[in-house]
């Protein structure tokens, strides 16, 4: 599953440049029985299978370089992964991600091995691998020099708690659809102000939850009032 992810785009380049290193472990290689069994039936009786703790503890111990290395268990029960957490993860020299499957993972992994349990969203995937790739991708972007201009990472959606402003490129007019005039003004202050307002407008419309958890400057409050007035008029 991981091969495709490693072999293209920014992740491939970061690996080649040695900016990041990714080591994948197969839990079956950390079993001790003949059948290389990583799962078993749940105590208490229920359908499905549950990951056994021993292979997970052994696999994590084989890769963890320090007691300080955080271990994240990926599961729908986890705390929500976001840009803040991605940036925090990127500051560690190493992180370990544990992927679950089946009905779940023996709770002793969450309680005694994992630093934190992480979910990438309110839906259930067939396995944690895809979630791990999502996390690695988002974290890698915060590793210095992985993304061309480090600056751009800090201006991306969510980093400042807002969605991105809209972008346009040539042609100036396409099937009667025009690029906003302000972008040709050459007035950088004006363009900056327009972008800020558009970002706020988008965030207000689609993700009011992001604004609710945000300390707005007086200038931003003013813009938001303006946006609300314009919306009410429509």
- Catalytically annotated residue among 54, 87, 103, 164: 103
Q: Does 43 bind ligand ADE (CB under 6 A)?
A: no
- Quick one: which of 4, 93, 124, 189 contacts ligand ADE (CB under 6 A)? 124
- Interaction between residue 121 and ligand ADE (CB under 6 A): yes
Give me the least distance between CB of 45 and ligand ADE, in Å please. Answer: 23
104 is an interface residue for ligand ADE by CB under 6 A: no
Q: State yes or no: residue 103 binds ligand ADE (CB under 6 A).
A: no
Please return the burial class of 73, using the count of CB atoms within 10 Å of its CB with bins 0-12, 13-18 and 19+: buried
Q: Which is nearer to ligand ADE, 42 or 166 (CB)?
A: 42
- Does the footprint of ligand ADE cover residue 76 (CB under 6 A)? yes
Stretch binding ligand ADE (CB under 6 A), from 21-29, 47-55, 74-82, 209-217: 74-82
87 is catalytic: no
Binders of ligand ADE among 130-189, rule CB under 6 A?
A: 131
- Pick the binder of ligand ADE from 50, 51, 75, 98 (CB under 6 A): 75
Length of the chain in terms of residues written: 234
| 103 included as an active-site residue | yes
> HEC states along the chain?
CHHHHHCCHHHHHHHHCCCCCCCCCCHHHHCCCCCCCCEECCCCCCCCCEECHHHHHHHHHHHCCCCCCCEEEEEEEEEECCHHHHHHHHCCCCCEEEECECCEECHHHHHHCCCEEEECCCCCCCEHHHHHHHHHHHHHCCCCCCCCCHHHHHHCCCCCCCCCCCCCCCCCEECCEECCHHHHCCCHHHHHHHHHHHHHHHHHHHCHHHHHCCCCCHHHHHHHHHHHHHHHHC
The catalytic residue among 39, 55, 129, 141 is: 141
Q: How far is the CB of 140 from ligand ADE (least distance, A)?
A: 17
Quick one: which segment of 4-12, 115-123, 180-188, 190-198 binds ligand ADE (CB under 6 A)?
115-123
Instruction: Answer yes or no whether residue 119 interacts with ligand ADE by CB under 6 A.
Output: yes
Catalytic residue ranges:
76, 103, 141, 156
Binding site for ligand ADE (CB under 6 A): 74-76, 100, 119-121, 123-125, 128, 131
């Amino acid at each position: 599953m991981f091969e495709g992810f490693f072999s293209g785009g920014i992740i491939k380049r970061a690996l080649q440049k040695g900016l990041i290193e990714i080591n994948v472990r197969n839990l079956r290689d950390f079993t001790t029985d003949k059948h290389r069994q990583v799962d078993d039936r749940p105590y208490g009786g229920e359908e499905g299978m549950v990951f056994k703790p021993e292979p997970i503890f052994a696999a994590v111990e084989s890769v963890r370089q320090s007691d300080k290395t955080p271990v994240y268990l990926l599961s729908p029960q986890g705390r929500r992964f976001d840009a803040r957490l991605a940036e925090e993860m990127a500051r560690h020299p190493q992180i370990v991600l544990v992927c679950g499957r089946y009905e779940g993972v023996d709770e002793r992994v969450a309680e005694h091995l994992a630093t934190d349990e992480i979910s990438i969203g309110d839906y259930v995937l067939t396995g944690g691998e895809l979630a791990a790739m999502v996390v690695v991708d988002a974290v890698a972007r915060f590793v210095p020099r992985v993304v061309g201009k480090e600056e751009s990472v800090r201006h991306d959606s969510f980093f400042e708690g807002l969605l991105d402003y809209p972008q346009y490129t040539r042609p100036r007019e396409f099937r009667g659809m025009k690029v906003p005039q302000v972008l040709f003004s050459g007035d950088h202050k004006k363009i900056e102000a327009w972008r800020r307002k558009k970002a706020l407008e988008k965030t207000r419309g689609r993700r009011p939850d992001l604004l609710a958890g945000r300390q707005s400057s007086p200038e931003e409050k003013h813009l938001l009032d303006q946006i609300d007035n314009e919306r009410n008029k429509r």
